[in-house]
Amino acid sequence: MAIVLTLVIILAIFAGIALIARRQGNRLLSEGKLRVRDLQFVDRAEVFRLREVEYPAVKEALLAADYGSSRVRIEEAEGKAALIYRTGAWRAVLRLEEEVGYEYHYAFFFVDWATRRGLPARPDTMNMVLTTVEKTMEALDPEMRMQVRQRPAQEAKMPSWL
């Protein structure tokens, strides 16, 4: 009887934790701090094409953005037009890839992350940061175009200049 009671209590605790996590996720979605994504987003690069928005303006806006409870640290890559995003569980890069006339192409991609059971350990914070980057780019250029592509194999690990 004691074993059954213990199991019921453990199941109730896990159900409570799941309910709280779901409510928090729904709250973040309704507040616009998260966007609905499949888990494959960590394997993709998002390329933002902004007109007449040079790197210093992008850097300033992204450093000033509110990343919510993600606890992300952002630093500029020395000598590169790139920002490095870090948490204890993952790293990402936003870099200026190309300048075509007055159009600037910035790529954001995750370079490595901790896993749990083969899945990213913190997809919630990864999604929150990506959503903030997307919204910041949209605010800088409301006519911004975005392209999603697979990361080339060399981007699947940390670039040597980081």
pLDDT tens per residue, range 21-69: 555 555 555 565 676 788 888 899 999 999 999 999 999 999 999 998 8
Residue 152 has pLDDT above 80, yes or no: no
Q: What's the average model confidence in pLDDT over 137-155?
A: 85
Residue 4 has pLDDT above 80, yes or no: no
Residue 161 has pLDDT above 70, yes or no: no
Averaged confidence pLDDT in the chain: 83
In the chain, the N- to C-terminal Cα span, in Å, equals 57
Q: Give the tens place of pLDDT for each residue, 95-123.
A: 999 999 999 999 999 999 999 888 888 99
Q: How far, in Å, are 69, 108, 126 from residue 26 at the CA level? A: 15, 25, 16
Q: Give me the pLDDT at residue 146, please.
A: 93
- Assign residue 32 a region: left if phi > 0, alpha if psi is -120 to 50, beta otherwise? left
Q: Give me the pLDDT at residue 70, please.
A: 84
Q: What's the average model confidence in pLDDT over 130-155?
A: 88
Q: Give me the pLDDT at residue 52, please.
A: 93
Q: Give me the pLDDT at residue 6, please.
A: 76
Q: Percent of the chain having pLDDT more than 70?
A: 78
Q: How far, in Å, are 86, 89, 140, 144, 153 from residue 49 at the CA level? A: 24, 28, 11, 6, 22
Give the up-direction half-sphere exposure of residue 22: CA atoms within 13 A in the CB hemisphere. Answer: 6
Torsion of CA 151, 134, 48, 77, to 10 degrees: -70
